[in-house]
Amino acid sequence: MGGLISMYAICEYLQVFGGAACLSTHWTGIFRADNNPIPATFMAYLSSH
């Protein structure tokens, strides 16, 4: 889950980090399922940051 923490760090602490390599085999919410709020929440977070 190193890619996820790298993505979080660059989103939340842009003034500290100049870039991040966000490679992960575990992207939260990548698989769609009926009534699964995680993909939409994940994309909303990325859109706002």
> Nearest Cα to 42, choosing from 1, 6, 7, 2?
7
Cα-atom radius of gyration of the chain, to the nearest Å? 12
CA distance 32 to 9: 25
pLDDT of residue 34: 78
pLDDT of residue 39: 77
Residue 4 tokens, joined: 């996820």
Residue 43: which domain range?
2-48
pLDDT of residue 32: 64
Number of domain units in the chain: 1
**Digit-coded pLDDT (tens) for 2-48:** 888 898 999 999 899 989 988 877 766 566 677 878 778 888 888 99
**Claim: this prediction has a pTM higher than 0.75:** no
Which amino acid is present at 45?
A: Y
| Predicted pLDDT at 27 | 67
Q: Which pLDDT does position 12 carry in this prediction? A: 93
Instruction: In whole angstroms, give the CA distance from residue 19 to residue 16.
Output: 9
With tokens 């990325």, the residue in question is 46
